[in-house]
Structure 1
């Protein structure tokens, strides 16, 4: 852990890119907290003017905290995407020795945390009213995703699908490691909010139900272990707190870019999620609005490098209201 201080700057509203999902309700400053979770896809290098397009979305979101994944080096003279974007905004930033995990915010950054370079980093933040929160950006193993496995093995047993979480990938162990680290840092029982969000590379058990198995391809009603472990640790799934019906509001984040292959629809899933713990004390947070970018999906015929949306992952924006306080 280390301390890090950078001056705060005013954020200018950027180009509106739309949102795939729920209507996002604006709120009075300092009464709400907006958190953006986004895998920016290889440092935004895959799309022409990717850094500029990604920065415009961050500005348009009016986020107070950004939890980024794949914040790699920008091609050319610029540094990693997160530090570059934070410099443009005048924000605080923490990426440390991680090749891709990043926490950005205009809030004061009092302390930083480093679990593992590929799996979790975080920061203690203080907002202009002096309210504290902790925010962690995470990423876990992408291999053998449940939706893709079912597409390739439609007759697989439930256990064979679940084995992908612990046997054919390291997701279960890595998620457990993140929770163990948070506990070791005495963060799970704080009186202030704890946010843990990022690219989980697996769907949630809240989205794999009897109802969704009937409504969407390549799903079953399964007790998926990673999301279940977050529930057992006392975390709330922010998107599902706002939209509890996964059929009416699927909130899929994978993938706005890769939706078809050889004329067949690929599995869609909500693999980018933001969890929070209010820790039963004041000041606390309540999720009140959710938005997934982009709203308008681009034509698959458009070459990847020419896309307006610069990532293969949708961006998730959650707005919380502060409840209680001193």
Structure 2
């Protein structure tokens, strides 16, 4: 399961308790979290879980990603500056290499695509690949950093026996969604988003789109649960809705079920979100895997 918890759950009443509630409902073996800025948030989520003593977490100050699991954590690290990594051993003995990913949010591509004045795909691509600031952050650079990290390279070497899972908020739509047949859904554009394309080029499988290959019948828009209009224009300007949260995998497992998740209670859109039961501005995604 992957979940952006919207600034440590602070945008809804009792946000941490509500995060824990929904984690219990889904009951994932591995949970990747984004927009978690304080270690105490991970601790408080676990404290509010049943069987809290079974849960462990991986978090490092300075990052906004974490991994929670009920299973044994063998080792951890950060992969460059873009993802939290944990090697986890399941009760079956299977070892899983997992990453919680949060790619750069700036120059968000759909804003350019839906701008109306942007006529050339190269302008959209600038936002995906141009460096921002001293760390040269961009979504393309983030994925390049991840795939070139020591942890990922090492995991590739043991891929025959240890699956890899990269899950999180990519702040990018998918090249598998913005296809020719779906132009009418994406402000008239078909576009090969590089962040997700780089993942599939590295032989990762998009678990949701593997099960539901047609983006017209199963769009699975994870952004946004609450943001339907831009607050800078008094919510009158529509916010592009897209699938930007993913669970990628490869190795000796296979996806057999995947879904968007946002609880069962009505979700009130911004600015009336404070009392929502669902504590995030993203929908979560979960995938069930079978072991080969």
With normalisation by structure 2, the TM-score equals 0.88
Alignment of 1:311-326 (within 5 A): 311-323=280-292
Query: What do you get for the CA RMSD once the two structures are aligned?
Result: 1.9
Output the CA distance in 2 between the equivalents of 1:232 and 1:303.
41
1:164 shift after superposition: 1.0
Residue among 27, 34, 58 paired with 2:23: 58
Q: Which runs of 5+ in 2 are unaligned?
A: 133-137
Alignment of 1:9-88 (within 5 A): 36-73=1-38, 79-88=39-48
Match of 2:73 in 1: 109
Q: Which runs of 5+ in 1 are unaligned?
A: 1-35, 74-78, 279-283
1:184 shift after superposition: 6.2
Instruction: Determine if the alignment matches structure 1 residue 171 to structure 2 residue 144.
Output: no
Instruction: Determine if the alignment matches structure 1 residue 263 to structure 2 residue 227.
Output: no
- Structure 2 CA distance for partners of 1:308 and 1:164, relative to 1, 3 Å: same
Kindly provide the CA deviation profile for residues 191-218 of structure 1, in whole angstroms up to 9, marking residues without a partner as x. 210001111001110011011112x143
CA contact (8 A) 1:144 1:168 kept: no
Match of 1:272 in 2: 245
1:300 shift after superposition: 3.0
Instruction: Determine if the alignment matches structure 1 residue 181 to structure 2 residue 181.
Output: no
1:154 shift after superposition: 4.3
Match of 1:243 in 2: 212
Residue among 162, 165, 170 paired with 1:200: 170
1:291 shift after superposition: 1.5
- Structure 2 CA distance for partners of 1:149 and 1:168, relative to 1, 3 Å: farther
CA contact (8 A) 2:265 2:277 kept: no
Instruction: Determine if the alignment matches structure 1 residue 148 to structure 2 residue 117.
Output: no
Kindly provide the CA deviation profile for residues 41-65 of structure 1, in whole angstroms up to 9, marking residues without a partner as x. 1100111010111110000001110
Output the CA distance in 2 between the equivalents of 1:178 and 1:130.
26
CA contact (8 A) 1:38 1:69 kept: yes
Equivalenced residues, count: 276
1:84 shift after superposition: 2.3
Match of 1:138 in 2: 101
Output the CA distance in 1 between the equivalents of 2:60 and 2:270.
38
Match of 2:135 in 1: none
Output the CA distance in 2 between the equivalents of 1:302 and 1:174.
31
Match of 2:201 in 1: 232
- Structure 2 CA distance for partners of 1:183 and 1:134, relative to 1, 3 Å: closer
1:99 shift after superposition: 3.5
- Structure 2 CA distance for partners of 1:96 and 1:183, relative to 1, 3 Å: closer
More helix by proportion, 1 or 2? 2
Output the CA distance in 2 between the equivalents of 1:239 and 1:182.
27
- Structure 2 CA distance for partners of 1:53 and 1:147, relative to 1, 3 Å: same
1:183 shift after superposition: 6.1
Kindly provide the CA deviation profile for residues 83-141 of structure 1, in whole angstroms up to 9, marking residues without a partner as x. 32234422011112344210110011111121245x11111111111111111001111
